[in-house]
Structure 1
Amino acid sequence: MKLTNLLKYFYWERIYSYWKESNTKKIISISLFSIIIVGILFSNFIPKQVTLSVDEVAKRNITSNVTAVIVDEEKTEELRQQAIDNVQKVYQEDKYALSNARSDVNYFFSKVSDIIMNEEGIDEEIKKDVETLLIVTKPTNLNLSLDTSQLANYLITTSEEDLERMREVSLEVVTNYMDKPITEEALTNVLNEALNQIENLPYAEEAREVIKIASINVIRPNMIFNQEATERAIQEAKEAVQPVQKTIKSGEIIVREGDRVTQEQISTLEQLGIQRTKSYPIALIGAALFVLLTIWLLVEYMKRYYEKILKNDKQMLLIGLIFIIVLLFTRILTAIEISDRPEINALIGYLAPVAAGSMTIAILIDNRLAYFMTMLLALYVGLITTGNQVFFAITAFVGGTVGVYRVSKLSQTSDLARSGVYIALANIITITGLSLIAGNVNLDMLLIGILLGGVSGILSAVLMIGALPYLESAFSITSMIKLLELSNPNHPLLKRLLLEAPGTYHHSLLVGNLAEASAEDIAANPLLVRVGAYYHDIGKIKRPEYFVENQRGFENPHEKIAPALSALIITSHVKEGVELAKEARLPQIIIDFIEQHQGTGLAKYFYSRALEEDREGNISEDSFRYEGPKPQTKEIALVMLADAAEAAVRSLNAPTPENIKEMVTKIIKEKLNDGQLDECDLTFKDLDIISNSFCKILDGVYHKRIEYPDTIVREFEKRREHDGDNDN
Structure 2
Amino acid sequence: MNTQRNVHDWFSRLRFQGTPLQWRQVLVAAGVWLLATIVFATTLLAQRIDVAAGDLAPRTVVAPYGVVDWGATQKAREQAAKLVPSVYTTNNQILRNQEAALHKDFSLILSLSIDQTAPLDLREQTIAQALPIGLPLSVWGKVLSLSPASLSQLQQDALVIISSAMGNGNGVRNNKVGLAEAQGFAAQLAAQEEQQPSLRLFLADFTKSLIVPNTFLNAQDTAARRQAAMDKVPTVKILKGEEVLQAGQVITPADIKVLQELGLLDQGFNPAPVIGSALLSFVLVALIAGYLWFLRRQTLLSLPATIITGLIFTTSLIGADIVKNLPALSYLVVPTAAIMVTALVDSGLGMVMAGVLALGVATLTGADLNVALVSFFGGLAGVFGVTRLSQRYDIIRAGVLVGIVNLLALAGLDIMQGAALSQATTWETLLWGLLDGILAAVLAMGSIPFLEGPFGIITSMKLIELSNPNQPLLRKLLVEAPGTYHHSIMVGNLAEQATEAVGGNSLLARVGAYYHDIGKSKRPYFFVDNQFGADNPHDKLAPTVSALIISSHVRDGIELARQYHLPDAIVQFIREHHGTTLISFFYHKALAADTGDGVLEEDFRYDGPRPQSKETAIVMLADASEATSRTLKHPTPQTIEQVVRKIIKDRLEDGQLDESNLTLKELDTIARTFTRVLTGMFHQRIEYPESVLKEMERSRGRGNMGGKPPGIIRKIGGHSTRGRHPHA
Indicate the TM-score class for this superposition, using the shorter chain for normalisation: 0.5 to 0.7
Cα offset, 1:74, TM superposition = 8.2
Q: Is the 8 A contact 2:399 2:438 kept in 1?
A: yes
Could you report, residue by residue, the CA deviation over 1:185-208 in whole angstroms, capped at 9, with x for unpaired residues?
xxxxxxxxxxxxxxxxxxxxxxxx
Cα offset, 1:507, TM superposition = 0.8
Name the CA distance, whole Å, in 2 between partners of 1:715 and 1:247.
Answer: 95
Could you report, residue by residue, the CA deviation over 1:660-715 in whole angstroms, capped at 9, with x for unpaired residues?
22322222111111100112222223323322332232222223345686455554
Matched, 1:349 2:330: yes
The equivalent position to 1:425 in structure 2, one of 376, 384, 404, is: 404
Give the partner amino acid of 1:505: Y
Which residue number corresponds to residue 393 of structure 1? 372
Which residue number corresponds to residue 40 of structure 1? 39
The equivalent position to 2:382 in structure 1, one of 386, 403, 421, is: 403
Cα offset, 1:639, TM superposition = 1.0
Name the CA distance, whole Å, in 2 between partners of 1:68 and 1:441.
Answer: 23
Matches within 5 A, 1:459-608: 459-608=439-588
Matches within 5 A, 1:173-188: none
Q: Is the 8 A contact 1:603 1:624 kept in 2?
A: yes
Name the CA distance, whole Å, in 2 between partners of 1:42 and 1:707.
Answer: 82
The alignment's C-alpha RMSD in Å is: 4.7
* 3-state SS of 2:330 partner: helix
Q: Which runs of 5+ in 2 are unaligned?
A: 1-19, 82-227, 707-728
Give the partner amino acid of 2:661: D
Q: Greater CA deviation, 404-413 or 327-336?
A: 404-413
Q: Is the 8 A contact 1:52 1:261 kept in 2?
A: no
Could you report, residue by residue, the CA deviation over 1:245-280 in whole angstroms, capped at 9, with x for unpaired residues?
9999999999999999999x989x999x79989996
Name the CA distance, whole Å, in 1 between partners of 2:411 and 2:251.
Answer: 39
Q: Is the 8 A contact 1:59 1:258 kept in 2?
A: no
* 3-state SS of 1:334 partner: coil
Could you report, residue by residue, the CA deviation over 1:191-247 in whole angstroms, capped at 9, with x for unpaired residues?
xxxxxxxxxxxxxxxxxxxxxxxxxxxxxxxxxxxxxxxxxxxxxxx9xx9998999
Name the CA distance, whole Å, in 2 between partners of 1:619 and 1:260.
Answer: 97
Q: Against the structure 1 CA distance between its residues 686 and 554, is the aligned structure 2 distance closer, same or farther, given a 3 Å change threshold?
A: same
Name the CA distance, whole Å, in 1 between partners of 2:76 and 2:704.
Answer: 94
Matched, 1:330 2:311: no
Matches within 5 A, 1:24-103: 30=29, 32-45=31-44
- Percent of aligned positions with the same letter in both sequences? 38
Name the CA distance, whole Å, in 2 between partners of 1:694 and 1:382.
Answer: 53
Q: TM-score, normalised to structure 1's length?
A: 0.61
Matches within 5 A, 1:287-302: 287-302=277-292
Matches within 5 A, 1:202-241: none
Cα offset, 1:508, TM superposition = 0.5
Name the CA distance, whole Å, in 2 between partners of 1:694 and 1:558.
Answer: 30
Name the CA distance, whole Å, in 1 between partners of 2:243 and 2:587.
Answer: 92
Name the CA distance, whole Å, in 1 between partners of 2:25 and 2:595.
Answer: 62
Name the CA distance, whole Å, in 2 between partners of 1:607 and 1:22.
Answer: 39
Could you report, residue by residue, the CA deviation over 1:431-464 in whole angstroms, capped at 9, with x for unpaired residues?
3344344454534344223222222222222222
Which residue number corresponds to residue 189 of structure 1? none
Which residue number corresponds to residue 689 of structure 1? 669
The equivalent position to 2:309 in structure 1, one of 311, 316, 319, is: 319
Cα offset, 1:560, TM superposition = 4.6
Name the CA distance, whole Å, in 2 between partners of 1:60 and 1:619.
Answer: 87
Which residue number corresponds to residue 363 of structure 1? 343
Matches within 5 A, 1:112-127: none
Which residue number corresponds to residue 228 of structure 1? none
Q: Against the structure 1 CA distance between its residues 52 and 700, is the aligned structure 2 distance closer, same or farther, given a 3 Å change threshold?
A: farther
Cα offset, 1:50, TM superposition = 9.9
Name the CA distance, whole Å, in 1 between partners of 2:514 and 2:673.
Answer: 19
Q: Is the 8 A contact 1:539 1:576 kept in 2?
A: yes
Cα offset, 1:540, TM superposition = 1.2
Q: Against the structure 1 CA distance between its residues 421 and 704, is the aligned structure 2 distance closer, same or farther, given a 3 Å change threshold?
A: farther
Give the partner amino acid of 1:349: S
Name the CA distance, whole Å, in 2 between partners of 1:720 and 1:414.
Answer: 50
Which residue number corresponds to residue 227 of structure 1? none
Q: Is the 8 A contact 1:76 1:242 kept in 2?
A: no
Name the CA distance, whole Å, in 2 between partners of 1:575 and 1:50.
Answer: 65
Q: Is the 8 A contact 2:65 2:241 kept in 1?
A: yes
Q: Is the 8 A contact 2:64 2:365 kept in 1?
A: no
Could you report, residue by residue, the CA deviation over 1:612-646 in whole angstroms, capped at 9, with x for unpaired residues?
55575934433332222211222211211111111
Which residue number corresponds to residue 655 of structure 2? 675
Name the CA distance, whole Å, in 2 between partners of 1:442 and 1:64.
Answer: 25
* 3-state SS of 1:335 partner: coil
Matches within 5 A, 1:241-260: none
Give the partner amino acid of 1:500: E
Q: Against the structure 1 CA distance between its residues 591 and 715, is the aligned structure 2 distance closer, same or farther, given a 3 Å change threshold?
A: same
Q: Against the structure 1 CA distance between its residues 274 and 719, is the aligned structure 2 distance closer, same or farther, given a 3 Å change threshold?
A: farther
Which residue number corresponds to residue 412 of structure 1? 391
Name the CA distance, whole Å, in 2 between partners of 1:531 and 1:689.
Answer: 21
Q: Against the structure 1 CA distance between its residues 48 and 619, is the aligned structure 2 distance closer, same or farther, given a 3 Å change threshold?
A: closer
Which residue number corresponds to residue 86 of structure 1? none
Q: Is the 8 A contact 1:47 1:276 kept in 2?
A: no
Q: Against the structure 1 CA distance between its residues 61 and 489, is the aligned structure 2 distance closer, same or farther, given a 3 Å change threshold?
A: closer
Q: TM-score, normalised to structure 2's length?
A: 0.61
Name the CA distance, whole Å, in 2 between partners of 1:595 and 1:59.
Answer: 66
Name the CA distance, whole Å, in 1 between partners of 2:705 and 2:417.
Answer: 75
Matched, 1:627 2:603: no
Q: Greater CA deviation, 486-495 or 634-643?
A: 486-495
Q: Is the 8 A contact 1:65 1:250 kept in 2?
A: yes
Name the CA distance, whole Å, in 2 between partners of 1:623 and 1:254.
Answer: 81
Cα offset, 1:498, TM superposition = 0.5
Give the partner amino acid of 1:286: G
* 3-state SS of 1:661 partner: helix
Give the partner amino acid of 1:329: G
